[in-house]
Structure 1
């Protein structure tokens, strides 16, 4: 499912299916195991491998042209605690209709896709599911046009959430629904929000995007500003969940705060394109999972979204009608620094990991990051740093000659 298109008189390169598929194609099997050990880590001495997907989920996926992956990440058996087995799912998807179609037609085309993918998650017994950033619309913010794109914004209790509530009740599933929120109570302002819907279809709460990018095409502050909700962690029947939306993954203290608030699973619903952040994609979440001792589900949308009007970029590129290719590659990271296989770079997909949440505490007890951290020292430093009169702690070599 490779794609090629012409723009600015040049041919865009064909998109590869996935890094894993290339490794498996060209590296001999005996060497591949060692390569995967080095690149992707190990869980209890073995690489995280793809597990069989049941027939019902396979049939749904085949009929609706999306990929399903399933893997397991285990913990050691304990004497006093029973295993805490949870199935986590993440969904990546392309848009379902052209961006010049009527707004509600665009929304319904995506909802129809997502419904089938949640059906497959339900068939696989997923307990906690997260969708991609603003799943119900194209990622139009970087066009800097207000209309028609703000018409996708909905109140937390709107149509998109009502759909998610129905699906959560249907499958006894906690679903995290990242959406463009219209806050009707506070001046109808807009926020990049994730609504957490409980397995009974109830709204548990919401989290918002803490860090807004201002880089290249991605200058989203013309639509919404940074959250004031902090780093909420939602206690559900299936574990404690945090949501670190998109650009927040580049901020280490953001990850830290979700961990200190007790997260066992942190989702990172994102929208990022080839050439911007892909070399960082495979390492940031793994680093966060290991240093904060929780599971991370990293979600990126997929496909190339073309817009009716040209827009210019913050990095000097000629005017263009798309941001580039959203490279998918959604995957899971574990507290022990292994990772699951990733979804395709070019196809819609559902990735599922069966995990034992006991692994979070087991890794804490092994590495002692929280025990050895110097929070009081960091707190003092940050307090000093935000003082306008702060001076960096630099010790200068006296032998350096001053100009």
Structure 2
């Protein structure tokens, strides 16, 4: 990946300084100072040894007279796969566990309270191939599969909540598969799970060959550190999906994703979608994307007339956080593994709701009425034409 652009931030910092850089930060990020948080020297050394990027930023709120601050440390982890895709399934999974544990250990010593991984973090993103074997063998129980057991031990060790996106094997319902986020409590117990609501059928991302739309609605999980929700990957393109997590009281919504920089990819949308959701819904968002190229043993096609290929293109990382006021932090690299930490004051959510009145003015009653009409078989769009009587 030596020829790939490292990050948008690298381009900016290499070419701007002084007032120009300050103005860029003000206009693009929403503040002139990114509020970088000091990290432990031991954490920096461990990140260097394990070869992953480490950064932390604060999202402070105004001091209130009737409520103490509600400070929570939240981390997101982006990473590449750790073994070639032609290696045995258990070997591939074990290699990822070993790599990611080093990152989790650093998060633990930094006192991170909640960690979210990228979409289907414990396996290659093999759904482009449309092959059932061996990829379906990565599927496992959400409640007591090897990935959940692995994380449960670390959750109890560090009093850390995990949001773990896996390929779920639903053993109680005919062994069918789901794209599922498992929420593991700081005690190591499974709080619950959420299944991906929106499944792409575009280009190489024909994921309905493996799993269909989820059946868990829009759950919000009340953890020790705050109320969290998970808008899995393709759901970020659906504004009502984001909205419903807010209606159910989410304070932080994670968007674990697997998205690419190729022509059919979404990199130009990546920096705005989770940010827009934070603004519209007055909650924190975290956008997490995997990193690297993943080459598969057999060629596959995209049904677009282009030659068959063995990889999807670059998964461009660039994970970032946004506050409820729309202020965001610099993102992680496009090419490297990384841990990004946000020190959030959750009081900011209500402060922004009070200030901007989006919930007060949203007119749900009007939209419910309008949408019910759209679903009617004889629906006629509300279009007014010139000279119409």
Counterpart in 1 of 2:42? 56
- Partner secondary structure for residue 247 of structure 1: helix
Are 1:262 and 2:249 an aligned pair?
Answer: yes
Counterpart in 2 of 1:130? 116
TM-superposed deviation, 1:56 = 2.1
For residues 186-222 of structure 1, what are the alpha-carbon distances to aligned partners after superposition, in whole Å with 9 as ceiling and x for unaligned?
0100000000000000100000100000111111000
Counterpart in 2 of 1:178? 165
Size of the aligned set, in residue pairs, is: 385
Query: After TM superposition, where is structure 1 displaced by more than 3 Å over at least 4 residues in a row?
Result: none
Are 1:203 and 2:170 an aligned pair?
Answer: no
For residues 309-329 of structure 1, what are the alpha-carbon distances to aligned partners after superposition, in whole Å with 9 as ceiling and x for unaligned?
000003332100000000000
Whether the 8 Å contact between 1:215 and 1:314 is mirrored in structure 2 is no
Counterpart in 2 of 1:9? none
- Partner secondary structure for residue 20 of structure 2: helix
Counterpart in 2 of 1:141? 127
Are 1:291 and 2:280 an aligned pair?
Answer: yes
* Counterparts of 1:314 and 1:111, CA distance in 2: 34
Which of 14, 24, 27 is the matching residue for 1:38? 27
Counterpart in 2 of 1:68? 54
Whether the 8 Å contact between 1:17 and 1:346 is mirrored in structure 2 is yes
Counterpart in 1 of 2:145? 158
Whether the 8 Å contact between 1:87 and 1:128 is mirrored in structure 2 is yes
TM-superposed deviation, 1:20 = 0.6
Are 1:340 and 2:329 an aligned pair?
Answer: yes
Whether the 8 Å contact between 2:35 and 2:59 is mirrored in structure 1 is no
Whether the 8 Å contact between 2:160 and 2:185 is mirrored in structure 1 is yes
Are 1:395 and 2:381 an aligned pair?
Answer: no
Counterpart in 2 of 1:94? 80
* Counterparts of 2:275 and 2:190, CA distance in 1: 29
* Counterparts of 2:221 and 2:306, CA distance in 1: 41
Whether the 8 Å contact between 2:275 and 2:328 is mirrored in structure 1 is yes
- Return the TM-score normalized by structure 2: 0.98
* Counterparts of 1:79 and 1:106, CA distance in 2: 52
Superposed CA RMSD: 0.9
Which of 213, 226, 229 is the matching residue for 2:200? 213
Gap regions ≥5 residues in structure 1 = 4-13
Counterpart in 2 of 1:10? none
TM-superposed deviation, 1:255 = 0.3
TM-superposed deviation, 1:389 = 1.0
Counterpart in 1 of 2:15? 26
TM-superposed deviation, 1:55 = 1.6
